[in-house]
Copies of this chain bind each other. A is one copy, B any other.
Amino acid sequence: MQIVRTIADLRSCIAAWRAEGLSVGLVPTMGGLHAGHLSLVGEAARRTDRVVATLFVNPTQFAPNEDFDSYPRDEAADAAMFEGAGAALMFAPAPEIMYPKGHTTKVIVEELGAMLEGEFRPHFFVGVATIVTKLLLQSLPDVAVFGEKDYQQLCVIRAMVRDLDIPVEIVGGETVREDDGLAMSSRNAYLSAEERKVAPVLYENLRLVAAGERTAEEASAYLLEAGFSSVDYISVRDAVTLLPEMNPGRPARVLGAAWLGKTRLIDNLAVG
């Protein structure tokens, strides 16, 4: 696996593959890799000839009070995992490569990007949409794979790609879970042993809401009772528009975000 750090080197590697007639898949990540990320690399490898995995902790999607500084960083470990999963190239740019002095352009997905996560983290989807646009235009892949774990992010990226006519197919990769149901997440590393035992209660409650056996309000109460410090939202939404108005016959999704001590966990499931 090659490791490149500049946009020019990235484009030159991809151009060489294109000259051979090879297709290209992209898997953007912020590192802190786990089996969930690797399954996305695997999905891209099944669909394309060469997979570019990116490693960049994007500062613009963190608010000043969030965990940018403490976000897990271990490039050597991540590189080994990407290679093991079948990536042909790792793109690991420095912040000044992605945001050189004077960078002021932002991509904003209104409505979809303003609800749910956008309500609690107003900077988040602007940062995500801008960096993902850049990564897609730097590499111009045939396919880019994003995890369903960040379901609203996947919806925002699909809308952005459609609205800006970015020539790429966006593929969602299924959430990978621990044996007890907890969705894999780089932020699970923040949990204490005690919190880790409580964490699967989020998944369990989303599962019961998805099955129609518990309401979103009841699920919130159960989370607090189990030891979660606060619940940002548990909500059943249209699976495409993420609007709260449900239309019969259209797929629905239950999404949740809750705090366990200082760690914020999110998860989601298809309803029914």
Contact = CB atoms under 8 A, between A and B. Distances in A.
Interface residues of A, number: 28
Interface in A152-178: 159-160, 163-167
Contacts of A163: 103-105, 134
**Copies of the polypeptide in the assembly:** 2
Nearest to A7: B165
Interface stretch (A20-28, A70-78, A107-115, A197-205): A107-115
Nearest to A156: B105
Nearest to A168: B137
A164 to B, nearest CB: 6
A166 B14 CA distance: 15
A263 interface: no
A250 to B, nearest CB: 14
Interface in A90-120: 102-112
Contact of A104 (B102, B106, B111, B134): B111
Given A105-B108, A105-B129, A107-B107, A137 B159 contact: no
Interface of A: 7, 11, 102-112, 129-130, 133-134, 137-138, 140, 159-160, 163-167, 241
